[in-house]
A and B are shown apart, each in its own frame.
Chain A
């Protein structure tokens, strides 16, 4: 199947710093990518829908200024967690829509904020 790559897979940062996570579709173009957050032993919570060339659409309760999303090209979307705090520690996962009904996920990025 199609491959979606996330980087970094793990990141540890100090409180107050910003962290950028990349999501790439390696063998297809994705006009739409999605960012999720997963808490331990919980399901995925959709944070935002990222559309190439336009502003992301955030779900209710997700702070736009906190979680900056940029979809600069058809194969790359980035999530920047700004001024990270310990409560932002989580597993962040992206997915990309092939346009043919398939939704592929990256391997996830585990963020730990000290």
Chain B
């Protein structure tokens, strides 16, 4: 079945770059998403990429997609303490979305 996997934790120092990785299994995915969730809050759409693209950049965020390996990554440049949150990778395929378990990003001053 469909499965999305992410590493659970990432810790970086303020000002460094963060790279959060995700793998998925459904080759029919049309869109792949990155969401941010802060404690007690809903999900905030950070960015998404269409499956026929291999890169998308939006200010400090860079998404890389390797469709052959079914690997997606989110790079946050100049990470700030306000970026500390849980980041979810998700795929949209066959009319529904599947989420990874989330990566908790901790940014140390």
Contacts and interface: CB of A to CB of B under 8 A. Distances in A.
Interface of A: 1, 6, 32, 34, 42-44, 46, 49, 93, 95, 101-108, 110
Given A32-B95, A34-B97, A101-B50, A108 B42 contact: yes
21 contacts: A1-B45, A6-B42, A32-B95, A34-B96, A42-B101, A44-B99, A46-B97, A46-B98, A49-B95, A101-B30, A101-B48, A101-B50, A101-B92, A103-B31, A103-B97, A104-B45, A105-B42, A105-B43, A106-B42, A108-B41, A108-B43
A1 B36 CA distance: 14
Contacts of B90: 103
Nearest to A44: B99
Given A43-B101, A101-B31, A102-B48, A93 B95 contact: no
B51 to A, nearest CB: 10
Nearest to B50: A101
Given A95-B97, A105-B42, 19 more contacts: A34-B96, A43-B100, A43-B101, A44-B88, A46-B96, A49-B95, A93-B43, A101-B48, A101-B92, A103-B31, A103-B33, A103-B45, A103-B97, A104-B45, A105-B43, A105-B44, A106-B42, A107-B41, A107-B42
